[in-house]
Amino acid sequence: MDMERDYLLLDGDCGLCNRLAIFLDNRLAKGMDIAYRPILSEDGQELIATFPKKQQDADSVYLFRKGKSYIRSAAGIRGLLYMRWYYKMWFPILWLIPFPIRDVGYRIIAKYRHKIFKKPETCLFRID
């Protein structure tokens, strides 16, 4: 696994995660690159093993960006930084929302995502 590259680690059997990867990939800003991996994949587990212990046990979406790891809402909001300007402009606005409130919102969505979004028949994450 290339540790110089940025990775978004998502739940491989979640319809929301699958849609998120497709949404993000189709809207990447020119010159931006990010790889997607299922959390439970061998590559995903290797990368998570390098994160701080508190993050390793998070059971969350993970973003590995410029050599640093992020989880939950911090990972999700930073995903905007890969997107075209009209999505990227939301980053500073959403960052103003206090961390505890952002993470409560993240946890609510995470709790019900399997009930709301149908499990994909195949994981469409780009493996490269």
- The backbone region for 44, taken as left when phi is positive above 0, alpha when psi lies in -120 to 50, beta otherwise, is alpha
Please give the structure tokens belonging to residue 57. 């046990």
Instruction: Give the range of the structural domain holding residue 83, as residue numbers without chain letter.
Output: 7-116
| pLDDT tens column, 67-79 | 999 999 999 999 9
Domain presence at residue 124: no
* Predicted local distance difference test score (pLDDT) of residue 70: 97
Domain presence at residue 126: no
For the chain, which residues score pLDDT lower than 50?
A: 126-128
* Predicted local distance difference test score (pLDDT) of residue 123: 65
Structural domain count of the chain: 1
